[in-house]
Amino acid sequence: MNFNYQIIVEYLGLNFVGWQFQKNGKSVQAVVEKAISKALNKKIKIIGSGRTDSGVNARGQSANFITQKEIKDLFKFLSTVNFFLNKYHVSILSIKRRKLNFHARRSAKKRQYEYIILNRAAKPSIDNHRTWLVKKKLDYNEMKKGIKFFIGRHDFSAFRASSCTAMSPVRTISYANIVKEKDKFIIKFESQSFLQKQVRSMVGCLKFVGEKKWKPEIIKKIIESKNRNDCAPPAPAEGLFLKKVFY
């Protein structure tokens, strides 16, 4: 008999090549698979809701794995797996049993990403590797105007990485918002899926708007151009978090 379990994973992307297993370095998927396999004393393959790039963080990455062994004590299992993960900036926050047809990637209806810009002169101590430090004062109201142009169904060719392998550049942004909390700008996007570096590219454009290098309306023109060369440089990976996956 098979059992299907969903886990929620939190990690700091620093020192990882990303979520997905790669031959050129350490991935989050690889260290989590190893920890779960060790806890169950059996080789386990986990399926993530989607890949996150090198350096990108997660507060709520979702994954699932199938095992022939039922996990009777979920709390004890979590404690064991997290013990094996102690040496990494990775934690399994929760685990629950799912139906066998649950698939972390294919069953996902929506993903929420959050990007944090720290807007001040002093470098971060507590938030180091968790924010993008921008020293030039940003105009919050202009960024609020600019972010609205991303909402809806668009061809996001101008915002995808050259290495992006997605079949179509068309994506639907169902939610986009920015809030200011003291010296932090917290930017959120929701969509069923995103192109490679899409969120970071959108944030890079919002930064240009906040610095008043661009007017907010420029974002609409960049979307319409479908030209990557018109886009601002992508924001660094360290300020980006996969916040939540909705099912």
- Comparing C-alpha atoms, which of 54, 45, 65 is closest to residue 12? 54
Please say whether the beta carbons of 16 and 25 come within 8 A.
yes
State percent of the chain over pLDDT 70.
Answer: 100
What pLDDT band is residue 229 in, cutting at 50, 70 and 90? very high
What count of other Cβ atoms lies within 10 Å of the Cβ of residue 207?
A: 24
Please say whether the beta carbons of 108 and 47 come within 8 A.
no
What pLDDT band is residue 24 in, cutting at 50, 70 and 90? confident
> Which segments within 120-183 are labelled E, that is strand?
132-134, 152-155, 170-181
Question: Which structural domains are found in the chain, ordered by start?
Answer: 3-98 (3.30.70.580), 110-246 (3.30.70.660)
- Tell me the per-residue pLDDT of 61-77, one tens digit each, with 9 for 90 and over: 999 999 998 999 999 99
- Position 43 scores a pLDDT of 95
* Phi then psi dihedrals of residue 129, to 5 deg: 70, 15
- Position 2 scores a pLDDT of 95
- Tell me the per-residue pLDDT of 86-97, one tens digit each, with 9 for 90 and over: 999 999 999 999
> Which segments within 120-232 are labelled E, that is strand?
132-134, 152-155, 170-181, 184-191
Residue 140 CA to residue 172 CA, distance in Å, equals: 24
Question: How much is the average pLDDT of 199-221?
Answer: 98
- Tell me the per-residue pLDDT of 103-113, one tens digit each, with 9 for 90 and over: 999 999 999 99
- Position 21 scores a pLDDT of 84
Please say whether the beta carbons of 177 and 147 come within 8 A.
yes
Q: Is 127 a catalytic residue?
A: no
| 99: pLDDT strictly greater than 90 | yes
Residue 206 CA to residue 139 CA, distance in Å, equals: 10
| 117: pLDDT strictly greater than 90 | yes
Residue with tokens 């004890």, as numbered in its chain: 76
